[in-house]
A and B are shown apart, each in its own frame.
Chain A
Amino acid sequence: MRNDQQERTFRRDPGKLLSSAVMLFYFSAFLLLWLKDFAWQAAALAVAVPAMIWLGVNFLPHLFPADKLLLSLTNFLCALGVLVLYATNPAYAYQQAVYYGVGLVAMVVCIYLVRIIRHWRIPVYLLMPVSLALLALPLIIGRETNGAKNWFYVGSLSVQPSEIVKLSLLLIISHFMSRRKFLPWLIFAVGCLGLLMLQKDLGTALMYYGVTLMLYYASSSNLLLTGIGLAGGAGAAVLGYKMFAHVKRRVAIWQNPWSDYDNAGYQLVQGLMAIASGGLFGVGLGLGSPRTIPVYHTDFIFAVICEQFGVIFGLCVLLMYVAIIWRGATTAMAARTSFHGLLAMGATLMIGLQTFVIIGGVIKLIPLTGVTMPFVSYGGTSLVSSMCLIGLLQGVASLNEDDLNEDTRLAMLGSEEGMR
């Protein structure tokens, strides 16, 4: 019963202002950085990054019914990583910009995989041993950094397999959970958690565990077993606290970082100082001294954002993640099959939990664990895998859109109104 006026309002693209604001933001920000020392790289990025955003937001939807809001926000966050890295250490920023492009391609590939693959049985059974082997690799050929042994090197390229296995974990558990099979995913998840514990990568283990438990609860609505899983997780946490010295140290730092600010608590104290010195509006882009924070480019990038742009902008970034979660949950609820719903929700929860774990660690809400901030942190594997997660989400969203269009078409065919 809509008239033409309403039809036009309904069809009008609500994202035009949003995507232009995003592009304007990066254009002006890189232009400002260019003013600092008139480096041609900044001028090039001032053109390239908005162009990449335009490609990501306005061109991709021509290929399939993609979700433009999700695309805008994801692109904003990725480009924010490039911007902040350029303001602190340009060498990282160029690499990150390359990975950003790779991430966009990986996202498109993931969308097509979700759209094309009908039978997930064989891929899933293939993925299981491959993922476990990949996760075991750093234990054999890896190098220990920051107390965790979760990296290995292919040539000069460093790879963090837990970021890749994240994707297959989602596919595997949502496949088996939607088929009401209990043992396969349990074995896989426990295997993954065990390997992560061996690598002492506790932040990622926490994420895997949380997502698996939450998805199990959603798919089975079995409170008893979920409770048992929760209790088991708490028991494992206590056991880990008793067993690993570095867990104890992390918890001690979390409780009072100021007691040992020169050694153990240095990171956290510097991060808190950076956030505090930013104030409401920040110290200004390209000013301040963010490089005094030890790992400013990965774990503490949120502190750098807060220092440069202020607490208000930090809150905006937080709200963008909230919007992504909202969108992801809506997509999952609209999915037609259990598998696709679980896949979409799993990707959403993965991004949400990862963000919570790292930002909570930086602002001293929970003990700090070394996970990256999705999209923003420096790191090729992390950025590409986060984009792949968004790709899975986008794939499900595009299937939903296809289904709804098909339903509309059938309804129009069936109804007299449509015939006329």
Chain B
Amino acid sequence: MPENVYEIVSLGMRYWFAFLGLLIVWRAFSWLRKDRRAKHRRLKHLPDAGMIGEMVVLQGSDELPEGTVIPVPRAGVLGFVRTCDVVVPVDGVAARHVDFVFQDGKGLLLFPLHKQRCIVDDTELTHRSKTKKFPMCHGSRLQVGDAVLRLRLFAGLDTEYRPTYAPYQPEQSWWPEQYPEENQPAPWQNSPYVYQQPANPWQQEEQPFYEEQPQEESWLNPPVYQPWQPPQQQDVFPPAQPRQQTRRRRRYHEE
């Protein structure tokens, strides 16, 4: 094509290109806006999207009464400030207290921030290696500051093991019908299948200031009849149900 004709065609076409460019940009931005609305609409129907479970407050404060349920995401921070994922406005909890992440097949790992104190099932997480050993599972209890929280996981999430005081033994009934004698160990204690919490060597037993001496029975000192009472109910939680059919696909095996 002769050069001057091409020049005129090309000059005419530039408006077409500018129009198409503007059209593409306009469509892209309107798409972005539309998608944003659609996402909000969709998430409104899915309150649990992205959550792995919830924390139930066992001991809280005026601002966080007992029984409150806080949803727990897969990873986040627990603390008293609003920007945290799990907000616990209780005395003794730091602004950003503990970092947590849920690991499939293991449990909710806790990483205390800035050497904050953090007790999981009566074990204090003092070191990173302890964090790995004591993940939170379904029914685990967490003590941060003056707050006590219990974790409840949604069905379909699997964890490595159960806490010692709530073992899950499907071949036995979960509470023996025959009460054991006083000094006998419970059937799950000393079991090789169950994780045994080691005794804390630093924990000192309370020494009573004055100990009453047992007195011999005599007519002056007749035995007082005490009715039998069942042993005090321990902190037990019904175990998680076995795996459902509707299992979440495992993907996040990130350590």
Contact = CB atoms under 8 A, between A and B. Distances in A.
Direct contact of A and B (CB under 8 A): yes
B254 A119 contact: yes
A281 interface: yes
A179 interface: yes
A177 to B, nearest CB: 12
A323 B29 contact: yes
A312 B22 contact: yes
A66 B248 CA distance: 21
B66 interface: no
Contacts of A24: 20
Contacts of B255: 119, 121, 179
A242 to B, nearest CB: 38
Interface residues of A, number: 60
Contact of A286 (B6, B101, B248, B251): B6
Contacts, number: 150
- Which secondary structure characterizes the binding site on chain B? helix
A173 to B, nearest CB: 15
B236 interface: no
A178 B254 CA distance: 10
A326 B17 contact: no
Interface in A312-358: 312-313, 316-317, 319-320, 323, 326-327, 330, 334, 336-339
Interface stretch (B46-54, B57-65, B162-170, B223-231): B46-54
Contacts of A330: 32, 35-36
Contact of B13 (A22, A28, A76, A120): A28
Contacts of B219: none
B25 A319 contact: yes
Contacts of B156: 410
Given A32-B10, A309-B18, A337 B252 contact: yes
B199 interface: no
A15 interface: yes
B111 A180 contact: yes
Given A14-B34, A312-B22, A413-B246, A284 B28 contact: no
Q: Kindly list the 4 A-B residue pairs having the minimum CB-CB distance in the complex, ordered from nearest.
A: A284-B10, A316-B21, A118-B253, A18-B27
